[in-house]
A and B are shown apart, each in its own frame.
Chain A
Amino acid sequence: MPMDPSFAGREYPLGEAYLVGVEKVREFAAAIGDDNPLFHDRAVARAAGYPDLLAPPTFAFAVINGAQEAVLFDPALGLDFSRVVHGDQRFVYSRPIVAGDELSCTIVIDSIKNMAGNDMITLRSEIVDATGAHVVTGYGMLVSRAAG
């Protein structure tokens, strides 16, 4: 079933702020095999002028991933999740995510296109901190491959 193109422009705010935890940041950094001390050692991060541990740049996706589910699993959108692959992803940063951040994420459907039976949905995820200041914007394109 093709996706409903009238969903372009729709906004999905994340219900509750995402609280960035110290252990989650360490777990994520370890999972990607990154031993940069700024991602593991709070004293090193503070000595470098940050309030707490830095998260690796693509940690932004862990924040977006949870928020995205509201979009991707919206039955009215008609996305067949079992056929979804990630087409591209880009992040634009104002600053690194830091442990202790309370992040709000709003996902906007920028576009929905159908090409050769494949549905392509582009999502923009705006992430701001507790003061409302911009932290990072994610731009991601997902492809739902044609069945068969």
Chain B
Amino acid sequence: MTADLTSVAVGDELPPLTVHLDRGRLVRYAGASGDFNPIHWNPRVAADVGLPDVIAHGMLTMAVAGRIVTDWLGDPGPLAEYGVRFTRPVVVADPDGAEVGITAKIGAIDEQARTARIDITATFAGKTVLGKSRAVIRLP
């Protein structure tokens, strides 16, 4: 699907997304990103540092949350900025994994700069896991 960027308005909602993360995905992401921190794949190490279980890489959560924008854009070329705060870990139990729900809406439009700000919400187990999660896109 490709967004029509000529007619975006504040409050417009992007099509929501649900992403399932399991241990296999964390291992794949570790290899693809080069982040081999064992708290993302070894339950013993996670427990040693006081975590309830293995947690997803923050950057994996950021990547899947960002898909709500690039899925909508089709072509990520207009993306000018994307940032998040990591506020809560996504705990990935085995074998159930974790369900991350993602919603987003147009939060502001800057007519001068011809940009739109997209506010993204990512939730896991009923709580938000990202704060100040925002993308800025260039408008035509």
Binding site for B on A (CB under 8 A): 24, 27-28, 30-34, 36, 38, 48, 54, 56-58, 61-62, 65-66, 82-83, 85-93, 95-96, 139
* CA–CA, A95 and B79, complex, Å: 8
What's the least CB distance linking A144 to chain B, in Å?
12
Query: Of all chain B residues, which has the CB nearest A86?
Result: B58
Question: Top 5 closest A-B pairs, CB basis?
Answer: A90-B83, A31-B32, A86-B58, A32-B63, A31-B28
* CA–CA, A48 and B79, complex, Å: 15
Q: Are A96 and B79 in contact (CB under 8 A)?
A: yes
Q: Interface size on B (CB < 8 Å)?
A: 33
Interface residues of chain A: helix, strand, loop or mixed (majority) = mixed
For B19, what are the chain A residues with a Cβ–Cβ distance below 8 Å?
Answer: 33
What's the least CB distance linking A79 to chain B, in Å?
14
A57-B79, A65-B34, A139-B83 known; A36+B62 contact, CB < 8 A: no
* CA–CA, A96 and B74, complex, Å: 13
For A24, what are the chain B residues with a Cβ–Cβ distance below 8 Å?
Answer: 32
